Chains A and B, each alone.
Chain A
Amino acid sequence: AQSVSQHNHHVILSEAASLELGCNYSYGGTVNLFWYVQYPGQHLQLLLKYFSGDPLVKGIKGFEAEFIKSKFSFNLRKPSVQWSDTAEYFCAVKVGSGGYQKVTFGTGTKLQVIP
């Protein structure tokens, strides 16, 4: 069965600092990869997704992620964070297609941006 690991559980940054959140997955086959964000008190929203093609994926709000197949990684990055980026970030992997698709999430990383 697939699994997703997020190594940083809680990250504190000052505004304008650069961000990188780690995500590794374990699954030997084809995967689709996602990063979701959950702002306080809200539901999960998609930040970006990777299905195929260019392994560097750009998402909303200046976020990007790079899929490195050899490392089974899909790290999230942002060059300069803002206070409004304070939220919890979840990495997810989807395996299968058509009749069977399962989406598994990491345990999440809480990001706190200090003004």
Chain B
Amino acid sequence: GDSVTQMEGPVTLSEEAFLTINCTYTATGYPSLFWYVQYPGEGLQLLLKATKADDKGSNKGFEATYRKETTSFHLEKGSVQVSDSAVYFCALISQGGSEKLVFGKGTKLTVNP
């Protein structure tokens, strides 16, 4: 079945450091890929998405590129801020597959000033 594997962390960085959170997937059908973010005490919110191979999703300085050849969708940000401290979830939905959003286990990011 569909699955997502992401580095579980936790990840601790200093402000202005470069961030990478790795995500790889296994899917039937033609998946769309997502990063969701959960700030402390809140529900998840969509950060960015990509719906086909080579698409780049971007939002709030975060980027991720849909790499079909490596089945990956790594999240990157060039300069993190304290306000980026949150849990980040990689997810996929496979049209023609289960059609339910499947999440990785999440990566907790802490950014120190």
* Chains A and B are bound partners: no
